[in-house]
Structure 1
Amino acid sequence: MLTLSQVTKRYPTGDRALTDIDLTLPRGQVMALIGPSGAGKSTLIRCVNRLVEPTSGSIRLEDTELTRLSGAALRRARRSMAMIFQEYALVDRLTVMENVLSGRLGYVGFWRSFTRRYPQEDIAEAFRLLDRVGLPHAMDKRADALSGGQRQRVGIARALIQSPRLLLVDEPTASLDPKTSRQIMRLIRELCGERNLAAIINIHDVALAQQFADRIVGLRAGQIVFDGKPGELDADTLTTIYGEEEWDTRVQDDIGESTPPREVPASRLTLASGGAS
Structure 2
Amino acid sequence: MLTVDALTKTYKTGDKALKAVAFTVPKGQVVGLIGPSGAGKSTLIRCINRLVEPTSGRVLLNDLDITALPGSGLRRARRRIGMIFQEYALVERLTVMENVLSGRLGYVGFWSSFLRRFPAEDIESAFRLLDRVGLMEHADKRADALSGGQRQRVGIARALAQDPELLLIDEPTASLDPKTSRQIMRLIVEICDERGLPAIINIHDVLLAQQFTQRIIGLRAGEVVFDGPPAALDEDVLTRIYGEEDWTAMRRSAEEDVAAERDAAERMAGMV
Give the TM-score range, shorter chain.
over 0.9
TM-score (norm 1): 0.92
Q: Deviations over 1:81-134 (max 9, x none)?
A: 000000000000000000000000010010100001000000000000001100
Q: C-alpha distance in 2, partners of 1:65/1:29?
A: 20
Q: C-alpha distance in 2, partners of 1:163/1:49?
A: 16
Q: C-alpha distance in 1, partners of 2:26/2:179?
A: 30
Matches within 5 A, 1:192-211: 192-211=192-211
Partner of 1:241: 241
Partner of 2:58: 58
Q: C-alpha distance in 1, partners of 2:212/2:227?
A: 16
Q: C-alpha distance in 2, partners of 1:150/1:58?
A: 35
TM-score (norm 2): 0.93
1:152 aligns with 2:160: no
Q: C-alpha distance in 2, partners of 1:237/1:225?
A: 9
Output the amino acid matched with 2:206: V
What is the Cα-based RMSD across aligned positions, in Å? 1.0
Q: C-alpha distance in 2, partners of 1:150/1:185?
A: 13
Output the amino acid matched with 2:144: D
Q: C-alpha distance in 1, partners of 2:2/2:191?
A: 19
Q: C-alpha distance in 1, partners of 2:73/2:109?
A: 16
Matches within 5 A, 1:1-277: 1-247=1-247, 248=249, 249-250=251-252, 251-252=255-256, 253=258, 254-255=261-262
Q: C-alpha distance in 1, partners of 2:26/2:75?
A: 23
Gaps in structure 2 of 5+ consecutive residues = 267-272
Q: Answer with 65-74 or 101-110: which moved more.
A: 65-74
Percent of pairs with identical residues: 71
What SS does the aligned partner of 2:107 have?
coil
CA distance 1:257–1:4, shift in 2 (3 Å):
farther
Q: Deviations over 1:24-60 (max 9, x none)?
A: 1111100000000000000000000000000001111
Q: More helix by proportion, 1 or 2?
A: 2
CA distance 1:257–1:74, shift in 2 (3 Å):
farther
Q: C-alpha distance in 2, partners of 1:236/1:175?
A: 29
What SS does the aligned partner of 2:187 have?
helix
Output the amino acid matched with 1:40: G
Output the amino acid matched with 1:240: R
How many residue pairs were aligned? Answer: 258
Q: C-alpha distance in 2, partners of 1:217/1:227?
A: 4
Gaps in structure 1 of 5+ consecutive residues = 259-277
What SS does the aligned partner of 2:106 have?
coil
Q: Deviations over 1:190-235 (max 9, x none)?
A: 0001101000000000111001101000000000000000000100
Q: C-alpha distance in 1, partners of 2:141/2:14?
A: 47
Q: C-alpha distance in 2, partners of 1:71/1:101?
A: 24
The ranges of structure 1 where at least 4 consecutive aligned residues each deviate by more than 3 angstroms after the TM superposition are none
- Give the CA deviation at 1:63: 1.1
- Give the CA deviation at 1:72: 1.6
Q: C-alpha distance in 2, partners of 1:155/1:4?
A: 25
- Give the CA deviation at 1:257: 6.2
